[in-house]
């Protein structure tokens, strides 16, 4: 599960699980991932014609942080999609 991006301003770390499933998506954690059960925000990456969208938000994460995470993923959508395909379509 490689960490593909760090947003130190918002204290987010973005991961892609190597054994994960379609559709392409990322997991955004507050801080670094420390445990298997740590709360995260799951965001589908969309495509060239489709914007990213929230898939799942742990109830312990605020809506404000979920919105910030979605904006972050939207800003880096192309880069994250390329990383997803690099990991899952070698």
Considering all CA atoms of the chain, what is the largest pairwise distance in Å, rounded to the nearest integer? 36
pTM: predicted TM-score of the whole model, two decimal places:
0.93
CA distance linking residue 84 with residue 25, whole number of Å: 8
CA distance linking residue 19 with residue 10, whole number of Å: 27
Over the stretch 24-62, which tens digit does the pLDDT of each residue have?
A: 999 999 988 888 889 999 999 999 899 999 999 999 999
3-state helix, strand, coil in the chain (%, to 5): 30, 30, 45
Q: Residue 25: its pLDDT value, please?
A: 97
């Amino acid at each position: 599960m490689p960490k593909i991006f760090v947003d130190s301003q918002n204290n987010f770390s973005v991961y892609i699980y190597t054994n994960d499933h379609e559709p392409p998506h990322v997991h955004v954690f507050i801080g670094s991932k420390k445990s298997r059960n740590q709360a995260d925000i799951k965001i589908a990456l969309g495509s060239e014609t489709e914007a990213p969208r929230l898939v799942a938000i742990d109830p312990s994460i605020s809506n404000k942080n979920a919105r910030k995470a979605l904006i972050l993923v939207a800003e880096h959508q192309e880069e994250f999609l390329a990383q997803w395909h690099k990991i899952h379509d070698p």
